[in-house]
Amino acid sequence: MRFSTIAHGARSILGPVAASRADALAAAVSVPANGRIVELGCGKADLLIRLLQAHPRTTAEGFDRNPWFLADARAAAEAAGVGSRLSLIETDAPGVALDGRAVDVAVAIGATGIVGDGRETLAFLASIVVPGGEVVFGDGFWAAPPPADGLAAFGMDRAELPDGVDGFAALGRSVGLELIAVEAASPDEWDDYEGEYGAAVDAWADANPDDPERAAFLARSAGMRESYAAWRRTAMGFAIARFRR
């Protein structure tokens, strides 16, 4: 958690998504007046803040286990003028807190693993959304076959992600959701994300030469940079889909 906090220190959006794409997504999501929005793994709540700004008569709840991200989220929400409409809950078990709830929009972007794999995450989101409500889901997919040695070194299994944008969209259909739209991140969005990720760790290391975790964090960042250059940039994609229940 500490490494992730450092690596994302310069970003409010904790994934390969440009601000312009996040704005367009927030505007496109359909939320009724007085609607309720929830997000699993909300990080710094950037998308929730944009949704509240785009839909001024709504309220939102964000769930995340990282207290530093949530502190940044609270400050950003207050600065954006939506703090009174946003509740942020620190927990590593949002599924328990939300079980049996009924909301108008349920979001999970880069949060697979909190309540299961991609399909299980979508099934959970579908279970808490009212009929006609929307599910917004973002995660990785294989844009090209990944090398076996790269996967092994990265600690991943090929089956963890679907093949292609079509395979990504099919996850929602497999749990009974209707696809509204799906978009993949551009290479520029990936490059910006990976570049800022590594630069943030480097800057932290320069400022903290005596930190006991410095060497391990630099090694981890170097491994991320090397794997991205070697194969992740071409093999791994990231998409965000909107589904309707």
Overall domain count for the chain:
1
What per-residue confidence (pLDDT) applies to 206? 98
Angle between helices 67-80 and 46-54 (to 10 degrees): 20
- pTM (2 d.p.): 0.95
- Does 211 fall in a domain? no
What per-residue confidence (pLDDT) applies to 21? 97
What per-residue confidence (pLDDT) applies to 185? 97
The closest alpha carbon to 189, from 20, 4, 1, 10, belongs to 20
- Does 194 fall in a domain? no
* 77: containing domain: 2-189+226-244
Reduce the DSSP state of residue 85 to 3 states and report it.
helix
- Does 196 fall in a domain? no
CATH of the domain at 68: 3.40.50.150
Give the residue ranges of the chain where pLDDT is below 50. Answer: none
CB 244 within 8 A of CB 175: no
- Does 16 fall in a domain? yes
Give, in order, the Cα–Cα distances in Å from 13 to each of 200, 211, 245: 14, 27, 26
What per-residue confidence (pLDDT) applies to 173? 94
Q: How far is CA 199 from the centre of its chain?
A: 20
- Does 195 fall in a domain? no
